[in-house]
Amino acid sequence: MARPQNTEKRVELLHQVVAYVQRHGLAGLSLSPLAAEIGTTKRMLLYYFGSREQLLARALAESRPDARAMFDGVADTEGLRRAADGLWEAITVGEQAGPIRMLLQLLSLAATHPEQYGGLAAETVEVMVGPIADAYVRLGHDGSVARENATLLVSGLRGLCLDRLVTGDAARTDAAARRLIDAAVEPRTAGQPNMPGT
């Protein structure tokens, strides 16, 4: 009978893995040098996480904003705006500002190495788009429009975040993010024009 895993040790290793990937990047990630640098063994990493792919998936899940927690409580347009503002803050100046680099690397690698990173990248996109689309549906948007609006918000803010990381221009990207959020939270449903005062 296999002995139960030490949950605290697993969490500690995962945090060390996330820090390692932030320093070294995802491209060419190998378990042996990773294990050596964080003071463990490849065997121990496989024991706790199962495979390189599962370890990478867990590290990415640990690093991305929790869109479900941020958007599940949205019940009106102002709530949607607050959640979108919170997402932008999380990926630029909040606790996700460092780890977001991992997600941007993953999406870039998926474009050039789809067989290796495509599935994980697609899952990473969906776990952001899905909960935000659900929030739009609660506000009266039909399913396809809800997903389009969620995609605009997620991909737009992610692109602005990349711009900010490359250029360091916080003022310009903050202003652009505000405009994007204004457009994305516009309170209308498919086929209906905006009404005065909405």
pLDDT (0 to 100) of residue 188: 53
Helix or strand run (H / E) with residue 99: none
Residues 164 and 89 in one domain: yes
Residues 105 and 43 in one domain: no
**Nearest residue to 106 (alpha-carbon basis) of 125, 133, 91, 128:** 125
Residues 21 and 35 in one domain: yes
> Structurally, how many domains does the chain consist of?
2
Q: Which mean pLDDT values do the consecutive 10-residue runs of the chain (198 residues) have?
A: 70 88 81 92 91 83 85 95 95 77 85 88 92 96 94 96 94 97 75 44
Let me know if residue 197 belongs to a domain: no
Let me know if residue 191 belongs to a domain: no
Rounded distance between C-alpha atoms, residue 23 and residue 28, angstroms: 13
Residues 111 and 147 in one domain: yes
Residues 137 and 105 in one domain: yes
pLDDT (0 to 100) of residue 198: 40
Rounded distance between C-alpha atoms, residue 148 and residue 8, angstroms: 40
What is the secondary structure of 181-197 as a DSSP string?
HHHHT----TT-PPPTT
